[in-house]
């Protein structure tokens, strides 16, 4: 909760962070009302998980967290040749990766990550810039 103090004069008002500052201003400037206490909720930071990130950004986050190599190692263990080739090409050459994609689900499963951990990876990947 954020507490402020508002003083008013005719059609104007000023808010102060402390009652002392409000009273000090009133002493130096005539005609202002007694301070009115105002309590406001602190702003809540809303973080949006991006649905799509560039692959190079996702790979950067995975590398910095030492998570890319375990994913590559798991791909080498895939038995079905078509799925294995698709996974290899996807992790190396895709333009983007969707949060809801099979690639993301595979990474999550291989690394044993929670949905929140995957969200955090995508949030961090969205912040990467060259």
Residue-wise pLDDT tens digits, 36-85 = 999 988 888 889 999 999 999 999 999 999 999 999 999 999 999 999 99
Q: At what angle do helices 55-64 and 115-127 cross, to 10 degrees?
A: 110
Res. 5 pLDDT band, cuts 50 70 90: very high
Overall average pLDDT of the 29-37 stretch: 94
pTM above 0.75, yes or no: no
Residue 87 CB-density burial (10 A; 0-12 exposed, 13-18 middle, 19+ buried): buried
What CA–CA distance (Å, rounded) separates 78 from 28?
A: 77
Tell whether 62 and 34 lie within a shared domain.
no
Residue 25: the pLDDT is 95
Tell whether 67 and 114 lie within a shared domain.
yes
46 falls within a domain: no
Tell whether 76 and 21 lie within a shared domain.
no
Tell whether 32 and 77 lie within a shared domain.
no
The domain of 105 spans 52-127
Tell whether 21 and 71 lie within a shared domain.
no
Residue 128 has pLDDT above 90, yes or no: yes
79 falls within a domain: yes
45 falls within a domain: no
Tell whether 34 and 95 lie within a shared domain.
no
């Amino acid at each position: 909760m954020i507490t402020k103090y508002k003083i008013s004069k005719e059609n104007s008002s000023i808010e102060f962070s402390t009652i002392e500052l409000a009273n000090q201003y009133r002493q130096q400037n005539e005609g202002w009302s007694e301070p009115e206490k105002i309590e406001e909720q602190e702003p809540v930071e809303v973080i949006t998980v991006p649905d799509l990130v560039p692959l190079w950004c996702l790979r950067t986050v995975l590398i910095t967290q030492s998570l890319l190599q375990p994913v590559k190692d798991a791909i080498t263990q895939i038995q079905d040749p078509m799925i294995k080739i698709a996974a290899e090409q996807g992790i190396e050459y895709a333009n983007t990766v969707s949060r809801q994609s099979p690639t993301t689900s595979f990474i999550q499963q291989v690394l044993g990550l929670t949905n929140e951990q995957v969200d955090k990876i995508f949030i961090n990947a969205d912040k990467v810039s060259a």
